[in-house]
Copies of this chain bind each other. A is one copy, B any other.
Amino acid sequence: MAIAMEIDREVAMEPDAPRQNLAINAYRTLKHDIIRGRYAPKEKLLMSRLKECYGVSTGPLREALSQLVADRLVVAISQRGYRVAPMSLAELNDIYDARAQLEGLILRLAIERGDDDWEASVLATAHRLAKVTDISSPDELLDGWDLRHKAFHTAIASGCNSPHLLQMRNTLFDQVERYRHLWLQETVMSPAALEQKRQEHAALVDVILARDAEKAAILMRDHLMTPVPIITRVLQNRGIS
């Protein structure tokens, strides 16, 4: 009974409370730092440095790192330690294409299977997102707009009613987020751009509630793919091919 509850909690949500064993804490903060670009793509992750930096010893640290390897955010080279996973235009394109495909599949299923509660949560999260009218600082963008934006898309996807498809979506999102962060940094998100996104979301909500799977899939794909050209430019400016 208690076990089942714990398991459900583990499966259901990713960003859990910050109280757990040290390995999970280290995993979370390290992942956060890699996604936010604190470490450069192929940078060496020195054991001794990480130990003092995150205040954990070898055991938990290696646990955290091997989980990041499973997330493909870190690569392990036998007997030569760990490095931040490289970034490339090829991976950018593949990751965004895979995501668009998967998100399209999930959206179709959600439109086919979603119930009234699902419709309600889509509307609710869309409303909460639309209420973010202007953004003062970049921090506010990440902590405010982006959080609600994620909640909106997650609400849409959850209609597919398949824990395993949603789990795959989460895994892929972790990998996409490092690239996506480049876009969020580049786009200061002017009120004009914000309004543009707001309209895209409104259009999505319309076709979703009208249960028009074909139009929804097209709108979703366009919506997801818009950051790709900007990210491409950023990567090229940094000399990444």
Chain A residues at the B interface, C-beta cutoff of 8 Å? 3-4, 6-7, 10-11, 20-21, 23, 42, 58-59, 62-63, 66-67, 70-72, 75-79, 83, 85-86, 94-95, 97-98, 101-102, 105, 109, 162-165, 167-168, 171-172, 175
Smallest CB separation, A240 vs chain B (Å): 13
Secondary structure call for the A interface = helix
Q: Which residues of B contact A172 (CB under 8 A)?
A: 164, 168
Q: Which residues of B contact A6 (CB under 8 A)?
A: 75, 77-78
7 contacts across the A-B interface (CB closer than 8 A): A7-B77, A7-B85, A7-B86, A21-B78, A21-B79, A97-B162, A98-B165
Q: Which residues of B contact A75 (CB under 8 A)?
A: 6-7, 10
Q: Is the CB of A98 within 8 A of B164?
A: yes
Smallest CB separation, A63 vs chain B (Å): 5
For the complex, give the distance between the alpha carbons of A101 and B165 in Å: 9
Knowing A63-B62, A171-B171, A175-B164, the reply to whether A3 touches B77 (Cβ < 8 A) is: yes
For the complex, give the distance between the alpha carbons of A4 and B58 in Å: 26
Q: Which residues of B contact A42 (CB under 8 A)?
A: 3
Q: Which residues of B contact A171 (CB under 8 A)?
A: 168, 171
Q: A3-B83, A97-B162 are known contacts; what are 19 more A-B pairs with Cβ within 8 Å?
A: A6-B77, A10-B75, A10-B76, A21-B79, A23-B62, A59-B62, A62-B63, A63-B63, A67-B70, A94-B162, A94-B163, A98-B165, A101-B105, A101-B162, A101-B165, A102-B102, A102-B165, A164-B172, A168-B168
For the complex, give the distance between the alpha carbons of A59 and B61 in Å: 10
> Which residue from chain B places its CB closest to the CB of A90 in the assembled complex?
B163
Knowing A11-B72, A62-B63, A105-B102, the reply to whether A20 touches B168 (Cβ < 8 A) is: no
Q: Which residues of B contact A59 (CB under 8 A)?
A: 58-59, 62
For the complex, give the distance between the alpha carbons of A11 and B167 in Å: 20
Closest 6 A-B residue pairs measured CB to CB?
A98-B164, A70-B70, A98-B165, A63-B66, A105-B105, A6-B77
Q: Which residues of B contact A10 (CB under 8 A)?
A: 75-76
Q: Is the CB of A164 within 8 A of B7?
A: no
Q: Which residues of B contact A77 (CB under 8 A)?
A: 3, 6-7
Knowing A63-B63, A66-B63, the reply to whether A78 touches B20 (Cβ < 8 A) is: yes
